[in-house]
Amino acid sequence: MKSNLWEKEGFSISTDRELLDKQVIFNYLNRESYWANGIPMEIITKSIENTFLCFGVYEGNPQIGKAKQIGFARVISDLATFAYLADVFILEPYRGKGLSKWLMRVIVEHSELQMVRRFMLATNDAHTLYSQYGFEPLNNPSLFMQIVRNHIYQKNS
């Protein structure tokens, strides 16, 4: 798949995995996120390598010069029937600039995801953001089941 680049007001979003700063992603997920706290770098690397669509958010344009990664999201999907949005973040100093809304618009409008029948995510605190892009509570939660391995990263780190 060819990578895409979107630019807006000195910021950019790219799907080029080669441009991702895994240390920035690791630092946020490992230390600041509630969902992946303590996650090891090897798991971050493996998750990126095995995700078809990763979205890096940058201050500047990483394709033409020095740019700083300030956000990230990935979509786990077969690109035909199912997609799961994961690991979405914008670093604290860059929040309040509309970047998470722009990132979500880029993701939900991505050409590879237009025929996906079910697009899911899980969040503790960003329902208002995601509902603006068509996400809504499960209409029949009893259909869904899960295996949750709480604190798995703390045991393995």
Q: How confident is the model at residue 96 (pLDDT cuts 50, 70, 90)?
A: very high
Residue 117's CATH number: 3.40.630.30
Q: What is the mean pLDDT of residues 121-143?
A: 93
pTM score of the predicted model: 0.92
Any idea of the CA torsion for 102, 103, 106, 108, to the nearest 10 degrees? -110
Query: Is 156's pLDDT higher than 70?
Result: no
| Residue of 80, 57, 66, 47 whose CA lies nearest to 11 | 57
Domain that holds residue 76: 5-156
Whether 52 contacts 16, CB under 8 Å: no
Burial (CB < 10 A; 0-12, 13-18, 19+), residue 124, is exposed
> What value does the mean pLDDT take over residues 4-9?
94
- Map residue 89 onto helix, strand or coil: strand
Other Cβ atoms within 10 Å of 126 Cβ, number: 13
Average pLDDT of span 109-121: 96
Q: Percentage of the chain surpassing pLDDT 90?
A: 86
Residues whose CB is less than 8 angstroms from the CB of residue 107 and which lie 6 or more positions away in sequence, other chains included: 53, 55, 73, 75, 85, 113, 133
Cα gap 128→136, rounded to integer Å: 10
SS3 category, 34: coil
Q: Nearest to residue 92, comparing CAs of 20, 27, 22?
A: 27
Q: Give 154's Cβ-side CA count (13 Å radius).
A: 7
Model pLDDT, residue 91 = 98
Give the pLDDT mean for 65-81: 95
Q: What is the mean pLDDT of residues 12-40?
A: 95
Considering its fold, how many domains does the chain have in total? 1
Helix, strand, or coil (residue 137) = coil
pLDDT beyond 50 at 157 = no
Per-residue pLDDT of 53-63, as tens digits, reads: 999 999 999 88
